[in-house]
Amino acid sequence: MLLDRDDSQLVLIDYQTKLIPHIFEAEQVLANAVRLAKIAKLLQLPVFGTEQNPNGLGVNVDAVRSLCAKTLVKQSFSACEDGLVDWLRPAPKAQGAELRGNARSLPKHLQKAVPTSPERGTIVIAGCEAHVCLLQTSLDLLEQEFEVWVVTDACGSRTERNRDAAFDRLAGAGAELVTTEMVAFEWLRDCEHPAFDEVLALLK
């Protein structure tokens, strides 16, 4: 099974200014997160960020925050507890809801709910710390029946052991473990995509 860009959303978890300096292989982790976000923007995919207790850990670094359409400020370790799912799965709106009067008096076709946009059920996710906020958010997304693809080379923890333990647990729970380049080339699918050259330049 390959990633489908038309079904994908990107979520970047807690690349915060006071946390990043303590992350194992921080420079590579952050660079890959920025690559992912830039590629997603080129391909017109939704990009969301989260920040854990920014009063204590700072906001996300500018290079990440500026690429996110919205950033969720949270206190829970799982972003799902603080509303992320509502962003990823917008509630359908009823057609004709703006009309006044008794709904029963409307023609039947106006009483049916219609989605605001096609649902994107695949979440490509990366972040820090891998064994805490990234792990708990991903497990909750799986429980919400999203497909979860964890971009391992854009994830980090303060220690390598904690990071790798998170990957083992996520794989066992049903998440797909991938790398930044795997995501990029699966979103593109072929070298004739109009954004191929720009994406390739970001990867080099």
How high is the pLDDT of residue 119? Answer: 82
Per-residue pLDDT tens over the stretch 81-125: 999 999 998 766 555 444 444 444 455 445 444 444 558 899 999
Residue 25: which domain range?
5-90+115-203
User: Can you give the pLDDT at residue 93?
Assistant: 55
Tell me: the pLDDT tens digits for 4-32? 999 999 999 999 999 999 999 999 999 99
pLDDT of residue 92: 61
Rounded to the nearest 10°, the torsion over CA 127, 128, 132, 133 is -50
**Residue-wise pLDDT tens digits, 18-75:** 999 999 999 999 999 999 999 999 999 999 999 999 999 999 999 999 999 999 999 9
Q: What pTM was estimated for this model as a whole?
A: 0.86
Mean pLDDT of the chain: 90
Report if residue 15 sits inside a domain.
yes
Provide the number of structural domains found in the chain.
1
The answer to whether position 97 is within a domain reads no
Is 106 a domain residue?
Answer: no
Bridge-partner residues for 147, per DSSP?
122
The answer to whether position 102 is within a domain reads no
The reply to whether 101 falls in a domain is no
Query: Which CATH number does the domain housing residue 120 bear?
Result: 3.40.50.850
Residue 95 maps to a domain: no
pLDDT of residue 10: 98
Selection from 122, 152, 151 nearest residue 5 by Cα: 122
